[in-house]
Amino acid sequence: MTLDKLDLSLSQELDSLKAEGRAKAPERIIETYIPPNGPKGPRYKLVGSDKEFIRLNSNSYLSLSQHPDLVAAADKATHEFGVGPGAVRFIDGTFIHHVALEKRVAAFVGKPAAKIFNSAYTSNCGLALSISHAKTFWIGDQLNHNSIIRAMRISNIPSKNKAIYKHNDMTDLKRCLDEIPLDMERVVVIFDGIFSMRGDFAPIHEINEVCKDYDEKFKDGVITVVDDSHGIGAYGDKGRGTPDFCGASPDIIIGTFGKAFGVNGGFIAGSPTLIEAVRQKADTYIYTNPLSVADCAAAVKAMDICDGKEGLALLKNLKERTGQFRKGLTDQGKESIPGPHPVVPLMIRDTKKTQDLVKYLFDHGVLVVGLTFPVVPRGDETIRFQINASHTMADIEYVIELLKNFK
Ligand SMILES: Cc1ncc(COP(=O)(O)O)c(C=O)c1O
């Protein structure tokens, strides 16, 4: 047997993706990291190009992935325990570094317990597998991340057990809650903390207020869940994320170590009973090897840094550079979505112009992401800029100047 027939069918499917404009471009490969040097922040070299690039498309908001303390912590853990766990968690694949990270992240987000996963993606799926049953009703924001949408799908609920509210629209959330069939016992309201393509945030204080009024109606209540992957570490006065910014915490927090913390992995934080249910029922936790001890030790170190003076200084620079970039856009009369998050969208509202600007920036050594139809509706074409703490004032000035000169 060969793959010839399957390959033929798959090629046709791939051709359709291309024809619909949904195919991903070939991946660029980073081959060199050049550390910050005076007024220049870090630069990257790509395979096949001599240029040095500024990355304005990295989620590493606090620029911690190259931090010597994280590298040293990962190194030490690896030298002690090796590079891989050798088994899943419940078959003696649990090391002290896994448990330490669970304690650390629970304390960081202010919940009594947490479970770590290989990613936030598998955390969302794990939560859905753990808490869904035939009488669970899920409500999500219209712009939720793919991992939440996938989690709602794999929770095996019938489609009638699901509703979507208009983005950040509390009246529409209320409508969804009003329309829940009365035989439902458990309601989960789930939303991104920061919406990754827009940089705006879920008003958790308002969501909690709306949901509170419906809690009594259902046997297990209304449970609020934030996936704060883009918020944790990068948002709020102390970098604790969207709950910090809103002054209100939902019942369950999901997040990643792979963005502001610069490492890898995800987590669910909540009550000890919820976390034990996750341990017993989340297939994406149970049947897969855990993070390496290196990842765990580095993530703990990242949170230690966030909690100290250095973390606050990084956050301050991140805010200042974000403010500088946003001001640059405003001064040029450019359209964005306001807010303090380091995801700064530049609304172009035209596919060709978006592609031309992405190319122009690339040709001048700047990496960004362009979102065009059909990934976003026609008229919503956008370039997403992501500011990181290691960007310098000169880096941001350079990019603003480039944008000014683009015709
Ligand atoms: C809201 C949200 N959840 C989950 C993820 C995925 O995070 P991870 O890479 O840890 O799976 C992302 C990142 O793209 C995200 O924006």
Q: Report pLDDT digits (tens) over 317-352.
A: 999 999 999 999 999 999 999 999 999 999 999 999
* pLDDT for res 4: 97
Asked, for residue 2, whether it belongs to a domain, the answer is: no
Structure tokens at 1: 């047997």
Report the residue among 117, 123, 259 best suited for mutation to probe ligand 1: largest number of ligand atoms under 8 A from its CB: 259
* Ligand 1 atom at shortest distance from the alpha carbon of 227: 1
Asked, for residue 16, whether it belongs to a domain, the answer is: no
Same domain (yes/no): 90, 229 = yes
Q: How far is residue 373's CA from residue 143's CA, in Å, rounded to a whole number?
A: 16
Same domain (yes/no): 189, 283 = yes
* pLDDT for res 159: 84
* pLDDT for res 22: 85
- 134: CA distance to ligand 1 center in Å? 27
Asked, for residue 33, whether it belongs to a domain, the answer is: yes
Same domain (yes/no): 318, 303 = no
Q: Report residues of the chain scoring pLDDT below 50.
A: none
* pLDDT for res 236: 93
Report the residue among 121, 200, 226, 252 best suited for mutation to probe ligand 1: largest number of ligand atoms under 8 A from its CB: 121
- 118: CA distance to ligand 1 center in Å? 11
- 144: CA distance to ligand 1 center in Å? 11
* pLDDT for res 50: 94
Same domain (yes/no): 176, 235 = yes
Same domain (yes/no): 293, 331 = no
Same domain (yes/no): 178, 49 = no
> Three-state SS for 173?
helix
For residues 231 and 315, the answer to whether their CB atoms sit within 8 Å is no
Same domain (yes/no): 176, 294 = yes
Concatenated DSSP letters for 30-61? Answer: EEEEE--BTTB--EEEETT----BEESS---T
For residues 270 and 38, the answer to whether their CB atoms sit within 8 Å is no
Asked, for residue 19, whether it belongs to a domain, the answer is: no
Q: Is 65 left (phi over 0), alpha (psi -120 to 50) or beta?
A: alpha
Last residue of a domain, one of 283, 307, 331: 307
CATH assignment at residue 44: 3.90.1150.10
Report the residue among 123, 256, 261 best suited for mutation to probe ligand 1: largest number of ligand atoms under 8 A from its CB: 256
* Ligand 1 atom at shortest distance from the alpha carbon of 123: 11
* pLDDT for res 20: 87
* pLDDT for res 400: 98
- 196: CA distance to ligand 1 center in Å? 9
Structure tokens at 144: 């939720």
Same domain (yes/no): 113, 241 = yes
Chain centre to alpha carbon of residue 136: 25
Asked, for residue 13, whether it belongs to a domain, the answer is: no
CATH assignment at residue 240: 3.40.640.10
* pLDDT for res 156: 78
Same domain (yes/no): 29, 150 = no
Asked, for residue 316, whether it belongs to a domain, the answer is: yes
Same domain (yes/no): 252, 152 = yes
Split into its structural domains, the chain has a count of: 2
- What residues form DSSP beta bridges with 225? 190, 252
Identify the domain containing residue 374 by its residue range.
Answer: 25-55+312-405
- Ligand 1 — pocket residues by CB below 6 A? 119-121, 145, 147, 192, 196, 227, 229-230, 256, 258, 266
Same domain (yes/no): 226, 251 = yes
Q: Where are the alpha helices (DSSP H) in 221-331?
A: 242-246, 272-281, 283-286, 293-307, 309-331
- Mean of all residue pLDDT scores within the chain: 96
Last residue of a domain, one of 249, 283, 307: 307
Q: How far is residue 74's CA from residue 82's CA, in Å, rounded to a whole number?
A: 10
Same domain (yes/no): 243, 361 = no
Count CA atoms closer than 13 A to 227's CA, side-chain side.
30
Asked, for residue 174, whether it belongs to a domain, the answer is: yes
